[in-house]
């Protein structure tokens, strides 16, 4: 790949200091094993050798340790050994073997993988004004062949930035969070009521001391979909009733099928599979078709409600003094076309079910097998809830251990196991030259479980995040990356964080959690990390 000439953005004095640091580090050895941390930075001074800009003592891109040069043989090995489902473990083993940076080529996809916060920090410094992550080509191909507009998840450049700024106002800004928090709180309270009713019918023990042991995952998926619909469309869909909608259950199944079929399609040309009529592609496209059909029906209903509301001359942003949801807000303001609103609402819906329901499975499990942690979080929640007077925003602000619990769950069980960027300029990671435009993946599953990054990494300790806030930890902001970073972080982050914290708050206020087995959970990767078998949880009425 041709290397663009880079213009220094620092003074000559800083440049000399940087070069001096590099000379000092040369004597520390250039081996890549054992996790030795070496130079990370931007290539700013150097000379051209064989057409490439190098820094004295820096090693070439080709010298980065790798898992094999033939991408197709590597892909075949992945399929034979079922590594796609254990990709997180493969990454962890590879870092232990090759050190904190390695190259991997799978089919048509090549990447550099890193895991240390200092390297991740350097990567994000070079992401540019329009950060770009790996395009999920199967998703993009589906939009193209069905003539659907693309949402911000699949866009790049100025077009992405313009749409993202509009969406941020409705889902990321603090004013927006305060508007949708009561809706999420309402759904969380209703889930608690549903669970209590079920306990009275199915629980064991005397009245008032009932216990209920269940696999809560189906209920958690319904909770996540109900909460997402309430925030995005401003309406409830009744998933906690005795006979929930079959259509909504089909939507959940479609999302699961879409996630399962995505990873194998990342390494093969989707249009070739389309022409071949490959069953894998057919399943993937059919799943997306159902997701779009479900979202289209909800959006049409939302549009009709908004039209009726405007006919009645309601104040802007309200429908009879009621929050109209993200969809209503976007339609009223009219900054995005209806096609773009549909595209982004559909992406938010598809990305807002499994990505909150699955972490809640892990959260219930970890709190259940760590009773002392559970009690400390509960005590803080009780005090905060009593002082908040029913205000969910105040209740969450007064219970930082709830946020710490979510961060700790996502440290050990990140929904997505990597965060990707393409640096816009040449950088140096672990003393290796990384050309601009290279796909670099920050591998956050191995990072979250590494002794080089976290003290006692396998211990579930939500309070570690409160302690870190009072300490100066190197690259601390790059140790928690489950929602990504910066301008391209997860656009649904505030919804997901609030949804999970409110859910746990109401559960802990009313139930004690325990687990029949405290053995570690086996995990697998579809497009997201999830338990191979959902954990069973015992709920005991407090």
Binding residues for heme: 490
> Would you list which residues are annotated within the binding site?
490
Q: If DSSP codes are grouped into helix, strand and coil, which group holds residue 403?
A: helix
For residue 152, what are its two tokens?
């911000």
Q: CA-to-CA distance for 271 and 288, rounded, in angstroms?
A: 16
CA angle 228/233/235 to nearest 5° reads 90
* DSSP 8-state class, residue 515: -
Q: What is the 3-state secondary structure (H, E, C) of 190-212?
A: HHHHHHHHHHHHHCECCCCCCEE
Q: At what angle do helices 217-233 and 493-510 cross, to 10 degrees?
A: 130
Pairing of strands 109-114, 440-443: parallel
Residue 364 is inside which H or E element, if any?
helix 354-369
For residue 199, what are its two tokens?
């306990």
**Backbone CA torsion sign across 253, 257, 258, 263:** positive
Pairing of strands 211-214, 418-421: unpaired
Q: CA-to-CA distance for 76 and 70, rounded, in angstroms?
A: 10
Q: CA-to-CA distance for 159 and 172, rounded, in angstroms?
A: 19
Beta-carbon contacts of residue 241 (< 8 Å; ≥ 6 apart): none
Q: If DSSP codes are grouped into helix, strand and coil, which group holds residue 35?
A: helix
CA angle 3/7/12 to nearest 5° reads 130
């Amino acid at each position: 790949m041709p290397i663009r000439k880079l213009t220094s953005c620092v003074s000559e004095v800083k440049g000399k200091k940087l070069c001096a640091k590099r000379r000092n580090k040369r004597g520390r050895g250039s081996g890549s094993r054992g996790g030795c941390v070496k130079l990370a930075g931007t290539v700013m001074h150097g000379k051209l050798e064989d057409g490439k800009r190098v820094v004295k003592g820096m090693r070439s891109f080709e010298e980065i340790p790798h898992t094999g040069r033939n991408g197709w043989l590597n892909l075949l090995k992945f399929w034979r050994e079922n590594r796609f489902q254990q990709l997180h473990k493969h990454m962890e083993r590879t870092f232990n073997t090759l050190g904190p940076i390695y190259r991997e080529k799978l089919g048509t996809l090549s990447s550099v993988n890193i895991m240390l916060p200092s390297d991740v920090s350097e990567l994000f410094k070079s992401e540019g004004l329009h950060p770009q992550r790996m395009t999920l080509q199967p998703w993009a191909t589906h939009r193209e062949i069905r003539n659907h507009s693309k949402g911000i998840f699949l866009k790049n450049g100025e077009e992405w930035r313009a749409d993202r700024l509009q969406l941020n106002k409705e889902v990321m800004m603090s004013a927006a969070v305060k508007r949708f928090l009561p809706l999420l709180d309402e759904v969380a309270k209703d889930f608690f009521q549903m669970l209590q009713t079920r306990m009275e019918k199915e629980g064991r023990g005397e009245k008032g001391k009932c216990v209920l042991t269940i696999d809560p995952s189906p209920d958690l998926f319904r909770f996540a979909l109900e909460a997402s619909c309430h925030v995005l469309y401003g309406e409830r869909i009744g998933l906690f009733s005795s006979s929930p909608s079959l259509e909504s259950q089909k939507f959940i199944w479609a999302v699961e099928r879409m996630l399962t079929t995505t990873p194998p399609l990342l390494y093969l040309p989707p249009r070739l599979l389309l022409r071949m009529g490959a069953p894998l592609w057919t399943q993937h496209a059919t799943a997306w078709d159902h997701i779009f059909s479900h979202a289209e029906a909800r959006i049409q209903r939302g549009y009709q409600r908004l039209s009726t509301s405007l006919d009645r001359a309601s104040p802007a942003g309200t429908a009879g003094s009621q929050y109209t949801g993200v969809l209503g807000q976007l339609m009223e303001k009219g900054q995005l076309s209806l096609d773009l609103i549909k595209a982004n609402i559909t992406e938010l819906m598809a990305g807002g079910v499994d990505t909150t329901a699955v972490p809640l499975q892990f959260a219930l499990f970890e709190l259940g097998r760590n009773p002392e942690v559970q009690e400390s979080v509960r005590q803080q929640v009780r005090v905060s809830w009593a002082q908040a007077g029913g205000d969910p925003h105040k209740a969450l602000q007064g219970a930082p251990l709830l946020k710490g619990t979510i961060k700790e769950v996502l440290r050990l069980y990140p929904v997505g196991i990597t965060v990707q960027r393409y640096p816009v300029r040449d950088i140096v990671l672990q003393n290796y030259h990384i050309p601009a435009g290279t796909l670099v993946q920050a591998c956050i599953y191995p990072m979250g479980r590494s002794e080089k990054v976290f003290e006692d990494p396998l211990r579930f300790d939500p309070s570690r995040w409160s302690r870190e806030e009072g300490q100066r930890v190197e690259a601390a902001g790059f140790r928690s990356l489950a929602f990504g970073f910066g301008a391209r972080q997860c656009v649904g982050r505030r919804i997901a964080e609030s949804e999970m914290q409110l859910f746990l708050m109401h559960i802990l206020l009313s139930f004690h959690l325990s687990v029949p087995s405290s053995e570690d959970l086996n995990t697998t990767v579809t497009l997201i990390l999830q338990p191979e078998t959902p954990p069973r949880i015992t709920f005991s009425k407090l």
